[in-house]
Structure 1
Amino acid sequence: MGYVKQEKHPLEYEYLQPEHLKGFDSYKYNCVDNSPLSVYVSHPFWNWLVVFYPRTWVPNVLTLVGWGFVMAGFFIEAYLDYSIDRNSDGSTNPIPDWFWFAAAACTFLGHTLDGTDGKQSRRIGASGPTGELFDHGLDSWSTVPFTITIFSIFGRGRFSISSVELLCVLISTQIVFFTTHWEKYNTGIMFLSWAYDVSQFGLVIVYLWTYIVGYQWFHFDVLGGIVNFAFTFEIGFYMCCLMSLIASAYNVHKAEKLKQPTILAGIRPAWPVVILFGSSIYWAVHSPTNVIDADPRFFFFCMGTVFSNITCRLIIAQMASTVCDIYNLTLGIYLSTIALSFYNPSNELPILRVSTLVITALHLHYGICVVRQLCRHFKIYAFDVSYLQNRSK
């Protein structure tokens, strides 16, 4: 994405070009959420709950706090089980049972706040593209904690899956999220995946069940001992991914009018994630020092942060009706990290960790600057709704 100019303040860097801002001016929210679970359970509950929210509660704060609960569960679990091996078969020091209750609470609260932030926004008259971008941008970063935390139940080894398989599960989750926004880039309508609500309720149920019966309950074989239960869990993720891809392809095929002029223009946003996914799998499989097993947390978080940055740029493009970027600095650094790891294998792990910190800092800078730029453009505040009172006067 082009760099327009550098303001005096480092957090006022203008990543968005004039055509983006012009597109945001005319943007209209267009979303379809017809999952039976959403229609008959989630939305009725959220509609009932949001009535009790004080009107001073800022929607973006709800979004940030909800995302904070998700990340809190991830980082607490990382502190307790950094190498994702405490729940391995025969472990004498498993993850404490209380954590799974906390994980269920964090997931439920995160999902609830993520579902009510938009309703609160419409309730107080603060709806706008800035809030939607802020919401979906943070959601794109949540694919890593959702995936890694749930598979920590299995640990490693006999009753688990390999780190490379776990990477593939993460990629399948990211494909579902990315495809939703890629579809909107082409059709102008966001059809929310049925898998999202199902996955959130599923996570809460699995965490609570783990808290009640213990992690050992999940250590068993199926199909006559051919595979373990973790493998069938993995297959479930792939099936959800496949069904989401089929649904998106159907929606694009049935669209009355596509926003993109050609097929090549329509698939343009997919190239960065194809490169990201392909290079990640190659690195994980052929790593000189098996870095994905040496530090799976940094590996997954680094890859997930690049994915979030790519997806944020797609979200901006589909909201602003502009051409999506196919290159960004975080992806360039990530690919350079892989190349440098093969060139200097003795320092592969330090290279990964330093690159992760750099990529995370760049992603945070991008997100903060974009939100601040949009707030300046629309003359609003991200975490304060006092401007609504001034408008009413």
Structure 2
Amino acid sequence: MPLLAYKERHILSPQQLRKLTEHKYSCFSASLLDPLLQPWWNWLVAQTPLWLAPNLITIVGLILNIVTTLILICYSPNGIDPPPRWTCFLCALGLFVYQSLDSIDGKQARRTNTSSPLGELFDHGCDSISTIFVALSACISCQLGHYPNWLFFQCFCAIALFYCAHWQTYVSGTMRFGRIDVTEAQFSIIAIHLVSAALGPEVWLTKMPYLECETRYLPFYIASGVDLSLALRYAKSILNEGCGKNGSSVAGTSVLSPSIPLTLVVLPALMIAQKSPDNIFTEHASVFILAFGMVAAKITNKLVIAHMTKAEMEYLDWSLLGPGLLFLNQYFNCIVPEIWLLWFTLAWSTQDLLRYCAQVCLEICHHLRIELFRIPYSPKVSNTISVGSQSNFGADKNGGTSHRKSKSKAH
């Protein structure tokens, strides 16, 4: 929709709601860790009360993840000051809780026979927000603020790759997880936090034996290699696996069309960070990442909805107002202090994301006659909790035919 035609009500058209009702989640996972973690997830969901709604499980995990990361950010907002060890441990704990809860919400949905397309959308929405905080917390734990370019690269790589995962889903109709993917990345970041908690964040400043570089570079060199591998895999899927007419997307649109919203977020962020006379990114790294991360989360949610409703991806959005003002302010020699506009961007993009997600959830709940955080009847227990095949591992973890795990769910 055009930028000036933003509407708070009726975000989803009747046709989109009908398509959403018909949507079937398709996922494949070859993850190394997921099969090993199934016994833990199955035990955990067995301890979960039957009255606990799957979406409530997801949101509780997300809130814990956000709170623990914000505590870490408070002690090291620029990623330079070493945070207390206990804050790193809290981040590790918060991420582990989120990962575990995100992995059982789909199981809980199937267990209580409360699966619906809303679960997939809600899970993806929570993941889009969690990605920002997880990436930023890892960089702060390693004190990567000493190298702003690396900090920018790692955080925006995480944001862009999460978007690309849903881009390839929009094109191919199936979400795919490789042998090293989301679960492996989450546990790697948990390990980084635990090392910082046990040995102190300063350990990442020490030189590695026989190598002329600091220890902090080791995880990020590895991460960069994984990022490149994922990017190539997504690019191959996007260019060659279009499931629509003549190799188009699920909506029959160009497979390259989702690149426009992503470019409108990443490119202005890079230009603003590099050209800022006040070094706004270096001095306020956490606020910068969170502000642009919320904008990216909004467009990712719109991409997920476009996929689930087989609709055309919208290019412009009101969340781009903040980045646009920052860009124009620099063009006119910063007539307004940049930090003011940066905080405005964070506040605006956050409220815009929350209002959008809330309105979409309300419309879907009304259409499907369900409730978001409550099971309005006594659930009947399903006999099947665990999964048996590799493809079902993906469903549990990422969305299943109903709810699913955090990487993409649907209940």
CA separation in 2, counterparts of 1:246 and 1:5?
Answer: 35
Residue 50 of structure 1 corresponds to which residue in structure 2?
A: 45
Matched, 1:129 2:117: yes
- Provide the rounded CA distance (Å) in 2 between the counterparts of 1:148 and 1:122: 33
* Separation in structure 1 between the aligned mates of residue 104 and residue 11 of structure 2, nearest angstrom: 29
Superposed CA offset, 1:202-257 (max 9, x none): 12222222222222222123485543232333332221221112223444566484
Moved more, 166-175 or 59-68: 166-175
Q: Which residue of 1 aligns with 2:317?
A: 328
Describe how 1:104-123 pairs up with structure 2 within 5 A: 104-123=92-111
What's the counterpart of residue 9 of structure 1?
A: none
Residue deviations 1:298-320 (CA, integer Å, cap 9, x gap):
11111000000010000001111
TM-score when scaled to structure 1? 0.88
Cα distance change of structure 1 residues 4 and 372 upon mapping to structure 2, 3 Å threshold? farther
Residue 293 of structure 2, aligned match among 283, 304, 315? 304
- The answer as to 2:142 corresponding to 1:154 is yes
Return closer, same or farther for 1:103/1:260 CA change in 2, 3 Å cut-off. farther
Instruction: Show CA shifts across 1:102-135 (max 9, x none).
Output: 1211111010001111111111011111111011
Following the alignment from structure 1 to structure 2, what is the Cα–Cα distance between the partners of residues 249 and 282? Answer: 24
User: Residues of 1 paired with 2:53 and 2:142: CA distance?
Assistant: 38
Partner of 1:358: 348
Identity percentage of aligned residues: 24
Counterpart pick for 1:196 among 174, 182, 193: 182
Give the Cα separation in 2 of the matches to 1:123 and 1:17. Answer: 31
Contact 2:239 2:255 in 1 (8 A): no
TM-score normalised by length of structure 2: 0.84
More helix by share: 1
Measured after TM superposition, the shift of residue 167 of structure 1 is 1.3
Aligned pair count reads: 374
SS of 1:164's equivalent in the other structure is helix
Q: Does 1:83 align with 2:83?
A: no
Give ranges in structure 1 of 5+ residues lacking alignment: 7-11, 88-94
Question: Residue 228 of structure 1 aligns to a residue in which SS?
Answer: coil
Shift of 1:164: 2.8
Change (3 A) 1:252 1:43: farther
Aligned to 2:270: 281
Measure the CA separation in 1 of the matches of 2:10 and 2:6.
6
Q: Counterpart in 1 of 2:388?
A: none
Against the structure 1 CA distance between its residues 294 and 219, is the aligned structure 2 distance closer, same or farther, given a 3 Å change threshold? closer
- Alignment-derived partner of residue 99 in structure 1: 87
Q: Greater CA deviation, 124-133 or 239-248?
A: 239-248
Partner of 2:149: 164
Specify every segment of 5 or more residues in structure 2 that has no aligned partner in the other structure, as ranges: 381-411
Change (3 A) 1:243 1:161: farther
Match of 1:248 among 224, 230, 234: 234
Give the corresponding residue for 1:317.
Answer: 306
Distance in 2 separating the partners of 1:262 and 1:182:
12
**Would you say the 8 A contact 2:79–2:146 is kept in 1?**
no
8 Å CA contact 2:326–2:341 kept in 1: the answer is yes
Matches of 1:191 and 1:257, distance apart in 2: 14
Q: Is the 8 A contact 2:27 2:174 kept in 1?
A: yes
Q: Deviations over 1:58-110 (max 9, x none)?
A: 100001011111101111112222232222xxxxxxx2222222121111101
Instruction: Give the 3-state SS of the residue equivalent to 2:286 in structure 1.
Output: helix
8 Å CA contact 2:272–2:326 kept in 1: the answer is: no
Distance 1:252 1:294, change over 3 A: closer
* 1:176–1:244 CA contact under 8 A, matched in 2: yes
